[in-house]
Chain A
């Protein structure tokens, strides 16, 4: 096991637990893996990355959070991860994925994921990125997801430590009858970082519900574009798109929340706000002795970590 990865992700103690499943990949090598009953994790090492197939067997509820670690210890490399996840009917799993690129100068991380959340199944996925401060990282997470009747799909993507580099998220989810989709993206960009978030949820089943949240902060010359879309085509489908972006300096942010309703009994709302840090928030902290920069950092940290 690469101890540095585990330490950087602050999971070195957690991974010692024999009931906690994990997979740890450095570039195109699987360096550590532990399965537990009811959870099958198959890996295939390839020239430029690793194919990973995760199956949670029918009715199995994985009690402890599963850890995935996709990292690159080199300065320059390409990592292509193809993930195929199947959470069978009635099963549930919560995954914490650590993407660690501590020395990155010229890194490309491609994540192509296919996920099927079965009937009344639950898939909770948190992705935490730890990047170097140099900014030479290109991250392309892409996912196609189907959520069957009564299923629950929840993601929480967080890239708030280190430089973003280039981030291009492209998620598409199809939500079946009475299913729930929740996607949250939190990114903190600076210098010449480029951030693009495209998340689309199709609420195709009756009473399907979806929420797309994005919280983006950009400063210096960073750019952010958020295109979040919910399409509701079934009766009593409910959705909400919420985008909040804070800009500082010469940064630039775009938010395009799109809602499309194709059924008279469906209902989708949206809200988007882009602006600098609120003056009263800033002045309150400055009146407690914080510098303007310290105050902005604290306000942004709250927005992104809250």
Chain B
């Protein structure tokens, strides 16, 4: 199936996905399509539901009881466990990655790859030296180092689809370039990338974007179309995730 721009096959489709957590409606009828081998962004203000959407696609505990459907490579995955989804090729990099007492980077990357992998080569791709291979993935690593190792584990896994939640948080400017390079490598190896972000710098790395507000997708399209609205309206928005959607069309003063 081709998209409206004549690009390649769709890999993931969200069909009217809604989710309640503790009785509160977090996601509201999300419809979205993600295209194989392309870089997408889900953008919006804090609290819009972006991370929740990523956790829902991954099928994390507490994010499984959805209405609607999630279609991956033409099949529903909404009843699959996290492991089963990962084995189909879906993965997620957390905004604040987990730390593990004593677990070496080498073992973490090898486990992510599902077998032997050139750990030093992968580390180099995210800007880390070979000496990191035998360090532990624990609190002795800085936030930026841990983030790079999370990305290295994604490169080791070679997934079909990855969701990177706030890939720039806790990262210095120099390291951010390495993160962007890694995103490029992922795209080159055919991985579909979904960037979860509220950063304009990250948004600019995407080809297609979905603008989220208050648990809804309020706009979608090529990133050039989304950037001006997000930059001009969402970033300074005072409506705190309560968009005045009905007044959007033709009224530049409203959401």
Contact = CB atoms under 8 A, between A and B. Distances in A.
- A and B: interacting chains: yes
Interface in A269-298: 278-281, 283-292, 294, 298
Given A279-B61, A298-B111, A306-B136, A287 B101 contact: no
Nearest to A281: B98
A302 B102 contact: yes
B91 interface: yes
Q: How large is the interface on B (under 10, 10 to 19, 20 to 34, 35 or more residues)?
A: 20 to 34
A124 interface: no
A292 B101 contact: no
A287 B114 contact: no
B102 A284 contact: no
B83 A280 contact: no
Contact of A289 (B94, B101, B103, B157): B157
A60 interface: no
Contact of A288 (B60, B91, B137): B91
Nearest to B60: A283
Q: Which of B91, B98, B99 is packed against the most chain A CB atoms within 10 Å?
A: B98
B102 A285 contact: no
A288 B157 contact: yes
Contact of A287 (B92, B102, B104): B92
Given A279-B61, A283-B61, A299-B103, A289 B98 contact: no
A111 interface: no
A299 B103 CA distance: 7
A103 interface: no
Interface string B86-111: 11001110100111111110010001
A84 B107 CA distance: 40
A303 interface: yes
Contacts of A256: none
Contacts of B104: 302, 306
Given A288-B91, A289-B86, A280 B98 contact: yes
A53 interface: no
Contacts of A244: 101
Contact of B101 (A285, A290, A306): A306
Contacts of B99: 281
B18 interface: no
A13 interface: no
Contact of A303 (B61, B81, B86, B102): B102
B136 A302 contact: yes
Nearest to B102: A306
Contacts of B114: 288-289
B80 to A, nearest CB: 12
Contact of A302 (B58, B82, B103, B153): B103
B101 A303 contact: yes
A73 B10 CA distance: 62
A304 interface: yes
Contact of B94 (A284, A305, A306): A284
B51 interface: no
A244 B101 CA distance: 11
Contacts of B191: none
A287 to B, nearest CB: 5
Interface string A62-93: 00000000000000000000000000000000
A278 B86 contact: no
A306 B102 CA distance: 4
Given A289-B157, A291-B83, 10 more contacts: A283-B58, A288-B111, A298-B103, A298-B111, A301-B107, A302-B100, A302-B101, A302-B103, A302-B104, A306-B136
Interface of A: 244, 278-281, 283-292, 294, 298-299, 301-306
Which 4 A-B pairs rank lowest in CB-CB distance, beginning with the nearest? A306-B102, A302-B103, A302-B102, A289-B86
11 contacts: A281-B100, A283-B82, A284-B97, A287-B91, A298-B107, A302-B101, A302-B103, A302-B136, A303-B102, A306-B101, A306-B138
Interface of B: 58, 60-61, 81-83, 85-87, 90-92, 94, 97-104, 107, 111-112, 114, 136-138, 153, 157
